[in-house]
Amino acid sequence: MKQLVFATNNAHKLEEVEAKLAGRIQLLSFDDIDCHDDIAETGTTFRDNASIKSHYIYDKYRVNCFGDDSGLEIDALNGEPGVYSARYAGQQGNHAANNALVLKNLAGKGNRKARFRTVISLMWEGAEYFFEGMVEGTIREELSGTAGFGYDPIFQPDGYDITFAEMTLAEKNNISHRAAAVAQLITFLNAQ
């Protein structure tokens, strides 16, 4: 079985990707390779940040790996929060504050179109490959649901009347931005 390190400290992301791999590829975490480094995401695009993470792990540990960067882009906010999605309200990973700030900034705006975007950078045998997934939707006016993480309670994907936070992990994994990017990654790996 192929092994692949996922360059993330986010347990929710790891769980989502493991569910998609369904035992076809052994996914290793930072703990599995004894990495306790905090990799600074200093890029200005999702692609930059994904690449920073995968190159860091590959250069330091010489293992096949991938990093991703994901975020929410809202049309009425000129693409915000974008690459700053995890720290939009200031503190890294404060989901409640991030959601509250988005809802505040969208107050009174009619256009609530948004999308989640994921970019994966794969370092495989010394070469870099990119995969991208996206899901379109709208931002709800209030939180709804308790599953998922991040902006899931305010994001309603097109074609659904519930938010990501009201879906099971399996339902979300069928349509999410990360699932779409991971599907491309799996197709690539299966061809190797």
The mean-pLDDT minimum among 21-25, 53-57, 77-81 falls in 21-25
CA distance 51 to 18: 21
Residue 53 DSSP SS3: helix
Say which residue, 152 or 170, is predicted with more confidence: 152
**Torsion angles phi and psi, residue 162, rounded to 5:** -130, 160
Burial of 171 (0-12, 13-18, 19+ CB in 10 A): middle
Q: Would you say residue 42 has pLDDT above 90? A: yes
Third-level CATH fold of 2-190: Maf protein (3.90.950)
Say which residue, 4 or 112, is predicted with more confidence: 112
- Residue spans per domain, the chain: 2-190
Catalytic site positions = 69
Per-position b or e across 172-184, b if 16+ CB within 10 A of its CB: bbebbbbbbbbeb
Number of Cβ within 10 Å of residue 102's Cβ equals 23
